[in-house]
């Protein structure tokens, strides 16, 4: 049985991070970011935040670097907004599922065009 509390805490962290990115973090190096998921360890000590960034690879890398540098600030803000005994460490990762889905869609369209 998956840890239900970890899932709930992850969703709350995702909501608060989204608000923080929209209102508090005013860094121009951050591109258009969408948080897709937050995975928590069972002991709630680490939160892996998956995100997508519109733009090229350079922009994605720059945004990821800025977010990892701002992880301490974001962690302290989450600690103020969510009542947790210990605020988890934040690790940011690019979510490859969107690009993978687009590639699969492109391959399916190519197959469909060949059959017609």
pLDDT tens readout for residues 59-99:
888 989 999 999 999 999 999 999 888 999 999 999 888 77
pLDDT at 105 over 70: yes
d(CA 96, CA 36): 10
Query: What's the whole-model pTM score?
Result: 0.81
Going by the DSSP 8-state scheme, the letter that residue 70 receives in this structure is T
Q: Where are the domains of the chain?
A: 4-115
Length of the chain in residues, anyone? Answer: 116
The mean pLDDT value of the chain amounts to: 88
The radius of gyration computed from the CA coordinates of the chain, to the nearest angstrom, equals 17
CATH fold group of domain 4-115: GMP Synthetase; Chain A, domain 3 (3.30.300)
């Amino acid at each position: 049985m998956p840890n239900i509390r970890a899932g709930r805490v992850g969703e709350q962290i995702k909501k608060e991070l989204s608000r923080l990115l929209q209102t508090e973090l005013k860094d121009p190096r951050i591109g258009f970011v969408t948080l897709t998921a937050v995975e928590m360890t069972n002991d709630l000590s680490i939160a892996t935040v998956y995100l997508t960034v519109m733009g090229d690879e350079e922009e994605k890398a720059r945004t990821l670097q800025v977010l990892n540098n701002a992880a301490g600030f974001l962690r302290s803000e989450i600690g103020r907004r969510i009542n947790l005994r210990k605020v988890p460490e934040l690790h940011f990762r690019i979510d490859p599922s969107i690009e993978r889905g687009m590639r699969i869609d492109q391959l399916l369209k190519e197959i469909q065009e060949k059959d017609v």
